[in-house]
Chain A
Amino acid sequence: MSEQDQITTDPTKPAQRMRAGSMTISATPWIIAAVLLIAMPYLFPSRSALTIMNQMSITIVFALAYNMLLGQGGMLSFGHAVYMGVGGFVAVHVMNLISDTGAPFPMPFLPIVGGLFGMGLAMIVGSFSTRSAGTVFAMISLGVGELIAACSVIIVVFFGGEEGVSGYRDEGLPFFGFDFAQQIEVYYLIAAWLMISALLMYLYSRTPIGRMANAVRDNPERAEFLGYSARWVRYYSFAASGFFAGIAGGLFAINYEILTEENLNTASSGVILLVTFLGGVGFFFGPIIGAIAFTLLQTVLSLHTELWAFYAGVLFVATVMFFPGGLAGLIMMHVPVFQIGKAKQLVLPYFKTLIPGAVAVLGVSALVEMTFHYRHAATGDNEMTVFWTTFDSHAILPWVIALVVTFGALYLTRLNAPSLREAWAEANTPDGGAA
């Protein structure tokens, strides 16, 4: 199956060989991540930055949970939002229960409730959906996702109908003096959960069941003849993934204090697939990069253009077609170059190809924006601004400039691409003898 080919990484590539070989658990990246998480609010103290970072952290937890299925277990789910969503809904209800009854339940532990319910749902659905991977699993996940999303308008008591369910996170018992009314407190709560969840998910992949998840992904039949039921292995992955998705849901509930049908629907499930794939399913840290990149696209780019989803879509298609290893794969491709010690040889060819390439991309996006403005702006509103330049979208000159820049840059990119390819091959060849 073609999607499976893309999910799996190429073992002949030295980078992946190295990854497969080293199983030591290094603490360094975790310490760096923790320090970064602590320092971020000092570097970006604005309210909107905190909002973006909270959203990012929640997406990272969800994407990592999703990759337990997709990357590690080889199961493509089109309905994973429901496990996060249901976990989140339960968390909001518990939040309201705390508000109403004053039950002494500390708010920081709310994500566990979300996790347990996410896992509970995954255990029910998994009991029939994990019988096989591949198309059958994908179709069941889609069906169940739609079913539960449809329930949101039917079971109004639980899902709150169209307006959803909302609550207040700051009405619980203060936890060591924190009541989480301040956004910065919420940031650190989410950051702590992000660290815990990511570490647990990483360690899970190093346990016997985590290793067998890989084995079943690659060759379920062989795994069966080694004494493991492929179905049970998938079931455990599915339940664990549901748990961490539910944690993400609980964090969502604390952060936004509201859950709606949007948290369950296929669009949300599609987004997490996109995020995970964009980051790269072949590496543990892939989904983290994907979540960061996507959240930035979604929040920062959407401030500047209505067409951000179009660009995200193009990026996704480009990733699938040209870099099936995702952003993480793109990064890890360079590890052997550094090991050989020829990274310097790549700098100049990269400049010569990627700068015109970037200009070409910006040129195309300018043309897209201009076309969009020309077609959709109100009559008489001919003035538009692209890249800090204001001009008349109905005049000829801006179009000529945009076209010339775009095609010029495209030409330069094409002109220099072969030399980059050559330099790449050269940089990947160790000196002295055949590789």
Chain B
Amino acid sequence: MTGFLRRGRVALLAYALLVPAALVVFGVVLYPAGRALVISFFDVDSPFPGAYPFVGLKNYADILTGARFWTAAQHTLYFTLASTTLEVVLGLGLAHLLAAPIRLRWLFRGIVILPWALPTIVNGAMWRWILNAEYGALNALLTQLHVQGDYRSWLGSDPFVALNMVVVADVWKNTSLVAFFLLAGLQTIPGDLLEAARIDGAGPVRAFLRVTLPMLRPTLAAVLVLRIIEAFKVFDIIYVMTGGGPAGGTQTVTFLTYLQAFSAERFSYGAALAYVTVVAILLLALIYLRLLRQQELSVS
């Protein structure tokens, strides 16, 4: 009986301690999410409360049949694939460098994390200046190295070039995060495994492919999914660097969502667009959770 009472009290205390967090989650995540879902079935065209016509799934149908969404989806997909691939490949190399037993390793590790510590807005503004067509540092560098004859426009001449430049800015910022995830993974690989491989006659490439990579797989999978989810939601760097241009060539789904919701005041259409993104991200998150669970199982 006393044991039961104590358990009950502990549970009560647990709930009491959870209340603040629950309120925050409910207030800033679940409630707005639920409200946005409701709004997406109406035709809300003003920021004020009031009675708006119920339109059911019309907003979703409009999105899926509209050309603008699919163009934006293509840009998002390209951005996601290009940036995550580059980040993982470069991050893997960087992680190896940071794991190497060199002098002042702590300093290098500190420096490498800096880009990630920059707010995205600052990073975007910085790259906009670097890429400036009239006085950008990249143009100065390439011209002085005689790689190109004259200054050129990176963000205004060709939509595809501009999209790739946004990828570059994103990769510069996020590679360090990926590298640190992978560095943590690398450090869990026992040294004797690699030593054993070396004694068995495996070269560095073979040891990497046969030992490091398989052991790194869970970390790699987790960081890949996390980065894909983040890249999928890309907004602020686009807003700062290109504003969706030129010729709409860097407009992603979340940028279109913002334009529709706030610039065009089509709040319902924007909410529906946001939910299309949510569904895509939810699927990715499920994969992530499954991977985590596999990891937990393999550890225990």
* Binding between chains A and B: no
